[in-house]
């Protein structure tokens, strides 16, 4: 058993370049998704708080529907539906967009909740010195809300990183896809999937610790 494990880990090491290429794809997908989800979440959260009734209704429907729909369904819809209407969308763009829609719905609620906790007096004071809405939002409300956003945003980022593994469902060459291909070809499933567990854990743990550190610094006003 020990010899089989050593042999399996040796084979994993021999395939490290292929696995690293898959991990680079995962990192690139994750970076795109987090950026898009954060942008969608900021404007979605603002719209939920300050939009007119029509805007709030549309955004509330988007947030509730996406949060109540399995992520895999959203991925399949975004990946397969455009092709049915003759739209040529790259696989990477499809999976990134699907994950960003999912993340943006959750981020909208994070932003809405954090901004809602900022005292109304802060906004009134900004109005009194002549700031219009967007300067008031970006320079007064958002800086005070960001420390409250960090913990749930970190949790969301971790979930999105793990969610990138669903790219395997549409045959995208992410890290898990590389693991599966090599495990199937070499036959050492335990060694390859154990490697996957370790890599995902290390990445997610690092993000959690970074988020906790950043949250402490911002909360105490060090940064």
Q: Is the pLDDT higher at 221 or at 206?
A: 206
Is-contact 160 13, C-beta < 8 A? no
pLDDT per residue over 168-215, tens digit each?
988 889 999 999 999 988 888 889 999 999 999 999 999 999 999 988
pTM of this prediction? 0.88
pLDDT band at 4 (very low <50, low <70, confident <90, very high): low
Q: Nearest CA to 100 among 140, 14, 159?
A: 159
Is-contact 104 44, C-beta < 8 A? yes
Query: Looking at the predicted structure, is the pLDDT value of residue 1 above 50?
Result: no
Q: Is the pLDDT higher at 64 or at 121?
A: 64
pLDDT at residue 33, as a whole number: 96
pLDDT band at 221 (very low <50, low <70, confident <90, very high): very low
The label of the residue with tokens 């988007």 reads 62
Q: What kind of fold does domain 2-219 have according to CATH? A: MetI-like fold (1.10.3720)
pLDDT at residue 220, as a whole number: 53
Question: 120 to each of 47, 130, 134, 176, how far by Cα in Å?
Answer: 17, 16, 16, 47
pLDDT per residue over 30-67, tens digit each?
999 999 999 999 999 999 999 899 999 999 999 999 99
pLDDT per residue over 63-110, tens digit each?
999 999 999 999 999 988 887 787 888 889 999 999 999 999 999 999
Share the mean pLDDT of the chain: 89
Give the domain ranges of the chain.
Answer: 2-219
Q: What is the dihedral of CA 104, 106, 112, 114, to 10 degrees?
A: -120
pLDDT at residue 35, as a whole number: 96
pLDDT at residue 3, as a whole number: 40
27 φ/ψ sector (left φ>0, alpha ψ -120 to 50, else beta)? alpha
Query: Looking at the predicted structure, is the pLDDT value of residue 115 above 70?
Result: yes
pLDDT per residue over 123-166, tens digit each?
888 888 888 888 888 888 888 888 889 999 999 999 999 999 99
Q: Nearest CA to 49 among 123, 108, 131?
A: 108
CA distance 36 to 122: 28
């Amino acid at each position: 058993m020990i010899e089989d494990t050593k042999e399996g880990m040796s084979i994993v090491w021999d395939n490290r370049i292929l696995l690293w290429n898959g991990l680079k794809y995962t990192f690139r997908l994750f970076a795109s998704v987090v950026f898009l989800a954060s942008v969608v979440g900021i404007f979605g959260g603002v719209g939920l708080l300050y939009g007119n009734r029509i805007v709030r209704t549309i955004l509330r429907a988007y947030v509730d529907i996406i949060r109540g729909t399995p992520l895999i369904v959203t991925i399949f819809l975004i990946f397969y539906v455009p092709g049915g209407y003759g739209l040529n969308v790259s696989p990477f763009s499809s999976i990134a967009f699907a994950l960003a829609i999912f993340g943006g719905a959750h981020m909208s609620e994070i932003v809405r909740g954090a901004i809602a906790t900022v005292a109304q007096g802060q906004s009134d004071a900004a109005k009194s010195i002549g700031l219009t809405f967007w300067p008031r939002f970006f320079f007064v409300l958002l800086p005070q809300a960001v420390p409250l956003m960090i913990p749930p945003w970190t949790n969301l980022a971790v979930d999105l990183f793990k969610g990138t593994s669903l790219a395997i469902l549409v045959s995208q060459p992410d890290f898990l896809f590389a693991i599966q291909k090599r495990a199937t070809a070499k036959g050492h499933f335990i060694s390859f999937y154990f490697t996957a567990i370790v890599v995902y854990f290390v990445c997610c743990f690092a993000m959690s610790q970074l988020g906790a550190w950043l949250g402490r610094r911002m909360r105490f006003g060090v940064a």
